[in-house]
Amino acid sequence: MNVQSYAQITTKFSKLPDIYQLLTRNSFFQALPKFPNEIERVRTLVFVASLEEPSCRTDFEKCLSGFKHLRSLELIDVCEFLPDKIGSLKELRYLNLVENTKLKRFPKSIFKLQNLQALILGDGFEELPKDVRCLISLRLLFLITKQKRLPEGGVGCLGSLQILLIAGCENPEYLCEDMQGLKSLRKLCIGGCKNLISLPISMKYLTALEYLSIMVCEKLDLMTIEEV
């Protein structure tokens, strides 16, 4: 998208309270000053750019705090970090990082997003900390991790979680043992976890579970599935 096409879209900006824009680095930072008084009305932002240059990182961090009512954020091929100010997006509901393969860890501020309902991680993400339990409104989690074992006191504490997708994880051998805390879980999909050895016995306490899918888990002991 060039600056001209972006400007054409923004001519109707004030009439669109819920706007979906595909932004590149150049068009974003050149067009942004054209609507400084309207930026708070943006609800959805898809950011397609690399933030490897220090100046770009600084500008992105500054403008991010301006999207006070942002509800959906998708970052594609951005960088190896998320700015701490992402924790200021109090109304954020949807965070998609699946195409951001450079991101390895979260800043602690992300766990302040009490209204976040969907979190989608990308390949390259190394570790999901226990603090994920602070995302009390989370309903969908697409998890990719390099951890060998999901720690207790984290994912298993997400009482509002309804859909858990664990895919493309070559390292995990065990899931968290406290899955009984997932009282609202309706759909569980596990795929491409080549080193997964067994399923936790606590899965039998998933009373709300309606759909279970397990694919391409070559080392999984089928006896543990029968026990569950």
**pLDDT tens digit sequence for 30-86:** 555 455 566 777 888 887 766 666 666 676 777 777 788 889 988 876 667 788 888
Mean pLDDT of the chain: 79
> What pairs with residue 48 in β-bridges?
24, 76
Residue 173 or 38, more confident: 173
- Give me the residue spans of the domains in the chain: 1-114, 129-142+156-228
The pLDDT tens digits for 84-139 are 888 989 999 999 988 777 788 888 999 999 999 999 988 778 888 899 999 999 99
Is the entire prediction scored with pTM above 0.85?
no
In sequence order, the 6+-apart residues with CB closer than 8 A to the CB of 141 are 118, 119, 132, 155, 158, 161, 163, 164, 165
Residue 50 or 211, more confident: 211
The predicted model gives 182-192 an average pLDDT of 95
- Banded model confidence at residue 20, pLDDT cuts 50, 70, 90: very low
